[in-house]
Amino acid sequence: MIKAILFDSGKVLNKPVSGHWFIPPNFFKYVDKETFEGIPISNRKAAFYRAGNYISKKMLIVTEDDEYNCFVEYYRILSEELPRLKLKDDDAKAIAHDLVYNYSKYDFYEDAVKLIPELSEKYKLAVVSDAWPSLENVFKKVGLRKYFSSFVISSIKGVTKPDELMYKTALSELNVLPEEAAFVDDHIKNCDGARRLGIKSIILCRNFKMYIYNKLVNTNYEVIRTLNDLESAINSKVGCTKN
């Protein structure tokens, strides 16, 4: 019997208001939008990729101040890769501040806002996310943090999913066994990690093409498009067996 649900955050419960995880809401107050969009997409992607390599290696980021300092360097790297933007150091600091301390940076899906309070009346809930410390205040800002009895952030743990520590921390804090929990994520490798522990795993794909792909390819998992289908997926026998 499932007693707890572990949720990924990004693309499961929320998405960036700008459409890009590393372009915070006020990015274009400091970056000329016309100049930015005039740079070839391949160059922009390469710049974000190099900055992303830097941040991905910063495994232990425990406080928001740590997060801010790391993202100042992130945007300095982005500036070096895209010199046409002519970003000053103060601009990099301002963008980093917006990314970390602007708790309105994510939009929550309507089904998440509606169903999380309802699900919390029937199940123990946890967030298990590859993210940084500011995510918790994002949840507080929209009034959803109170529904989660466990909130596991990768940068605070020093590991990312599918490392078993991420899932085991949530199970311990919720005081449930693996077979008493379900896990919802949009990445198959993360679902695989949870399933290896005996946690029932469900793939949520809000993108229609990815939904169809996973329905066809990952037939040993329940695949859903919205949280409206979550409880029926939880009650299904698909996705319960360990790999």
For every residue of 197-214, DSSP letters joined together read TT-EEEEE--SHHHHHHH
Does one domain contain both 95 and 166? Answer: no
- pTM for this model (two decimals): 0.94
Whether 140 maps to a domain, the answer reads yes
User: Which residues span the domain enclosing 208?
Assistant: 4-15+105-235
Helix 64-81 to helix 89-101 angle (10° resolution) is 140
Does one domain contain both 144 and 71? Answer: no
- Residue 239: band (very low, low, confident or very high) from pLDDT cuts 50, 70, 90: low
Question: pLDDT of 22-78, one tens digit each?
Answer: 999 999 999 999 999 999 999 999 999 999 999 999 989 999 999 999 999 999 999
Name the β-bridge partners of 150: 126
199 Ramachandran zone, left/alpha/beta (phi>0; psi -120 to 50): beta
Whether 85 maps to a domain, the answer reads yes
Does one domain contain both 49 and 149? Answer: no
Residue 5: its H or E element? strand 4-7
Whether 240 maps to a domain, the answer reads no
Whether 184 maps to a domain, the answer reads yes
Question: pLDDT of 76-120, one tens digit each?
Answer: 999 999 999 999 999 999 999 999 999 999 999 999 999 999 999
pLDDT of 172 reads: 98
Whether 243 maps to a domain, the answer reads no
Q: Which of 62, 81, 101 is the last residue of a domain?
A: 101
Does one domain contain both 63 and 110? Answer: no
Does one domain contain both 212 and 130? Answer: yes
